[in-house]
Amino acid sequence: MIHYFERGRSPEAPVLVLFHGTGGTERDLIPLARRISPESAILSLRGNVLENGMPRFFRRLAEGVFDEADLVFRTKEVQDFLDHAAEEYGLPRTRFVAVGYSNGANLAGSLLFHFRGSFSGAILHHPMVPLRGTTLPDLSGVPVFIGAGRNDPISPARETEELQSMLASAGADVSVHWTYYGHGLSDGEAAAAKDWFEQHFTSMDGKERSGSV
């Protein structure tokens, strides 16, 4: 997969794995990642699917209607890539934390849905439920941050609430940060994600914690 890698300043810090939104690239979320955890290594992916020339992580049939077969295929594709990248770059696979926005958040969520140990935590900005009718793996001890907008026309509040319930039922520790904005990522939401990350992955003395998985 086309990707960007930047080695972190601290080997103890979790690795941030970035997933852009529709039409984005592997460069889009780098400023957000540096804000969330300046010490972390960054592994940022570009989606392998094109929709009218715009990169995505999986196909869709219409707005909000996922091609579920392609989603499952692409989820396995990304999981295999992350395992390979961990070996290639000498990264601790058990300390990968996802940071995704919109389509990228949906793919990151699908990884949580399909593979136990895919991430030790996840920051999902404006996600939807990636797949229904599936049994989630045990997510006990995995913290998940969801950034959501009460007025989001693409990822409505009911999607957030259902996703929160599904993840929590699998044992994840889910925190939802609500705003009254739409689908865009606000500065306040980014700040909340940083605070959440510091709470879950940074100890009181400032040293990075290991992931839970």
Mean pLDDT of 103-115: 98
User: What structural domains and CATH numbers belong to the chain?
Assistant: 3-200 (3.40.50.1820)
Catalytic residue among 3, 173, 183, 186, which? 183
Residue 117 corresponds to which tokens in the numbers above? Answer: 């140990």
Catalytic residue among 37, 40, 44, 102, which? 102
Q: Is pTM, for the whole model, over 0.75? A: yes
Whether residue 177 lies in the annotated active site:
no
Please report which helix (H) or strand (E) contains residue 157, including its range. helix 157-169
Q: Is the pLDDT of residue 212 over 80?
A: no
Catalytic residue among 152, 155, 200, 212, which? 152
Return d(Cα 31, Cα 79) in angstroms, integer. Answer: 24
Q: Is the pLDDT of residue 207 over 90?
A: no
pLDDT in tens, 69-93: 999 999 999 999 999 999 999 999 9
Whether residue 20 lies in the annotated active site:
no
- Looking at residue 73, what is its pLDDT? 98
DSSP per position, 177-190? EEESS-SS--HHHH
Q: What value, to the nearest 5°, has the Cα angle with vertex 26 and ends 102 and 93?
A: 90
Q: What does pLDDT average to over the chain?
A: 94
* Of the candidates 22, 58, 14, 12, the residue with the CA atom closest to the CA atom of residue 154: 22
pLDDT in tens, 22-56: 999 999 999 999 999 999 999 999 999 999 999 99
Whether residue 152 lies in the annotated active site:
yes
